[in-house]
C-alpha cells in the first residue's frame, strides 16, 4: 500500500533528521517501524494513556508564565494569514541497506 502524508513542519524536520542520522533508510521505513510500535502498544491502553498524559502533565507543571489567550489567537491569526511554503517531497537517492 502506498499513501501520502502531510506532516507539520516540526514533525517533518524530526523525521528527516532521524533519516539523516541513519535511524531510518527513508520515510517508508520510518512509517513501517513507527506504526508497528503503535500497533504493539494497542493492547496496553493504560500504558498508552500514560504516555499521552506525560506531555500534558509537563505542560501543566511548566514554571514559565502562561500566555494570555488573546496573544495566542493573535499569533495564530498571523500564522494562518501568512503564505504557506511549498510542500517538501522525499526523493530517494537509491540507497540500499548496505549504504547506511
Domain that holds residue 74: 9-79
How far apart are the C-alpha atoms of 25 and 92, rounded to whole Å?
9
Q: What 8-state DSSP symbol labels residue 23?
A: S
- pLDDT(93) > 70: no
pLDDT tens by residue, 30-66: 989 999 999 998 899 999 889 889 999 998 899 998 8
How many structural domains compose the chain? 1
Q: pLDDT value at position 67? A: 86
Q: Is residue 30 a contact partner of residue 24, using CB atoms and an 8 Å limit?
A: yes
Q: Is residue 38 a contact partner of residue 31, using CB atoms and an 8 Å limit?
A: no
- pLDDT(95) > 60: no
- pLDDT(90) > 70: yes
pLDDT tens by residue, 5-18: 888 888 988 998 99
Helix (H, G, I), strand (E, B) or coil at 56: helix
Q: Is residue 14 one of the residues assigned to a domain?
A: yes
Q: Is residue 68 one of the residues assigned to a domain?
A: yes
Amino acid at each position: 500500500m502506498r499513501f501520502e502524508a502531510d506532516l507539520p513542519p516540526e514533525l517533518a524536520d524530526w523525521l528527516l533528521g532521524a533519516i539523516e542520522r541513519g535511524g531510518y533508510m527513508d520515510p517508508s521505513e520510518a512509517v513501517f517501524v513507527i506504526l508497528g510500535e503503535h500497533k504493539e502498544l494497542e493492547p496496553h491502553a493504560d500504558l498508552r494513556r500514560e504516555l499521552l498524559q506525560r506531555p500534558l502533565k509537563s505542560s501543566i507543571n511548566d514554571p514559565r508564565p502562561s500566555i494570555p489567550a488573546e496573544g495566542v489567537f493573535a499569533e495564530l491569526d498571523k500564522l494562518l494569514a501568512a503564505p504557506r511554503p511549498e510542500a517538501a517531497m522525499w526523493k530517494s537517492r537509491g540507497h540500499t541497506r548496505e549504504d547506511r
